[in-house]
Amino acid sequence: MFSKTLLDRVPSTWRLALLQAITIGTSIALCLTLAGNALREDLDTIARRVALDDLGEYALMFQKLGPAGLERVFAAGRHGKGQSVRVVGADGKVLWEHANGDEKAFAWPDALHLRKLADVNGLLAVEHPVGDVHMLVGRIVLPDGAVLWHGRTDAADRSYVKHIRDYLWLAGVAAAIIALVPVFWYAGEVMHPVRSMITSAQSLAQGAGNERLVVSGAVPELLEFAAAFNTVLDRNAELTGELQAANDHLAHELRTPLARIRGNLEAIHDATTDAGAREPLGRGMDEIDRATHLVQTILNIRAGEHNALKLHREETSLRDLLGSIADLYANSAEDRQLLLRLEAPEDITLSIDQQRLIQAITNLLDNAVSYTPAGGEIILRLEVGGQGGTIRVLDTGPGLKVEELEQVWQRFVRGSAASAKAPGMGLGLSLVRAVAHAHGGTAGCANRPAGGAEFWITLPR
């Protein structure tokens, strides 16, 4: 399970490269082994034939020309390297011998090996006392009873095999590099566009829904997938727009009927003296007021999103405005055993719509008070910069999930910390952002490193 989990973390490009490397390495090792064994067997067969031919040639030459003939052959330099010849008389004395430095280290077989030579095709393999070189030794008994010994080392054959293996390794490395070309193509033409699609999808998930999958230089299949996916997104955006337009139109059309119904209920409420009827009439007017407030909030959000929200601006001290709001929430925070602090070391005066901004800030404070547990802290902070002012509301509540940092600003969306006991329809933060946009500013949120959430509204000068 651990290996599978570890393998799941490895990118597919590296998986393909590893699989390709294992396949190529195994193939090269198998080819080298088979080729080396076959080459060694062929060279061994050839070496035996050459040794037997040389043995017969040297015996015939010695019988005709004697040691002087063999001396001339080896002096010519065509047969000397890697070969040894020894002629031993019938009495055991060495009549003539030719051997280089490396060949002298080999021990010639004694008389006991003479019978064994027939079992190895007339040759006997003698090992070097120190190195890995072997020498094939053969002998012919001459008519006068002398014995001509001939030895041929496999040093040249080993050098040839090593030379061939070096070339095979070089060919294997070249083949491995060529075989890895598909991996690089896969990484560039498939995985790079896929990662680009993943990044686009993440931006789409955190954005407002107007982003699309962006794939550049991808294979045709990925381009078709991205086009199909974007078509689905366009269709969803179209349906969402139609639904929002219908909601906005419905909210706009409901204002007048709700006002008339409330006026009629208020008239009946004022005209009747029946206490039993006045109470339900009052509850009915309260419900209509809530519905009217909901309708007006939706219209304000829509107007703020399209920069059509009407503002009644006036020069206002943000420190004084935040001070009055903090005083308003002091008792509510104390009842919930919360510490509410105002931090406004500097002041700034801006042209704002006081009522709209108060509504936005109180929405943020309502959320902070609702979601911060007893014993927590809420900070209402004013930061002044060269571009304007920033109002921050910081709490020590549960915070937000990463995917919720942008989703909570959408209409009718509530965070995972919200519960059925906490009132709301998910319009408060949408209204906050709409008010910020209407003032030419921005609104955002983040999780605090020490725990809790932080919401802010930036207001330009």
Domain boundaries, the chain: 10-178, 205-305, 314-460
For the domain with range 205-305, which CATH number is right: 1.10.287, 1.20.120, 1.25.10, 4.10.860? 1.10.287
For residue 226, the number of C-alpha atoms closer than 13 Å in the C-beta half-sphere is 24
Is pLDDT of 119 > 50? no
> What is the DSSP pairing of strand 134-141 with strand 83-88?
unpaired
- Run of H or E residues at 44: helix 12-65
Between 30 and 394, where is the model more confident? Answer: 394
How far apart, in whole angstroms, are the C-alpha atoms of residue 64 and residue 85?
16
Nearest C-alpha neighbor of 84 from the set 65, 116, 109, 64 = 109
How far apart, in whole angstroms, are the C-alpha atoms of residue 246 and residue 190?
42
DSSP state of 80: -
Is the dihedral angle over the CA atoms 160, 165, 171, 177 positive or is it negative? negative
Token pair, residue 141, equals: 């008994």
% of the chain beyond a pLDDT of 90? 21
Nearest C-alpha neighbor of 57 from the set 206, 256, 316, 49 = 49
% of the chain beyond a pLDDT of 70? 80
Report the chain's terminal Cα–Cα distance, integer Å: 59
Task: Provide mean pLDDT across the span 216-239.
Answer: 78
Nearest C-alpha neighbor of 331 from the set 369, 293, 303 = 369
Is the dihedral angle over the CA atoms 61, 63, 64, 67 positive or is it negative? positive
Angle between helices 12-65 and 155-179 (to 10 degrees): 160
Q: Which long-range contacts does 224-229 make (Cβ < 8 Å, 24+ apart)?
A: 226/197
Between 336 and 1, where is the model more confident? Answer: 336
DSSP 230-247: HHHHHHHHHHHHHHHHHH
Is pLDDT of 315 > 60? yes
pLDDT digits (tens, 9 = 90+) for 373-421: 999 999 999 999 888 999 999 999 998 988 888 888 887 777 766 654 5
For the domain with range 314-460, which CATH number is right: 3.40.50.720, 3.30.565.10, 3.90.1150.10, 3.40.30.10? 3.30.565.10
Q: What does pTM read for this prediction?
A: 0.47
Strand partners, 150: 85, 138
The dihedral region occupied by 452, where left means phi > 0, alpha psi between -120 and 50, and beta the remainder, is: left
Is pLDDT of 331 > 80? yes
- pLDDT for res 111: 46
Query: What is the side-by-side order of every strand in the sheet holding 147-153?
Result: 94-98, 83-88, 147-153, 134-141, 124-127
Strand partners, 139: 149
- pLDDT for res 319: 94
How far apart, in whole angstroms, are the C-alpha atoms of residue 438 and residue 459?
10
CB 126 within 8 A of CB 106: yes
Task: Provide mean pLDDT across the span 171-179.
Answer: 79
Token pair, residue 409, equals: 């600003």
Is the dihedral angle over the CA atoms 141, 142, 147, 152 positive or is it negative? negative
pLDDT digits (tens, 9 = 90+) for 185-208: 777 777 777 777 777 777 766 555
Is pLDDT of 330 > 60? yes
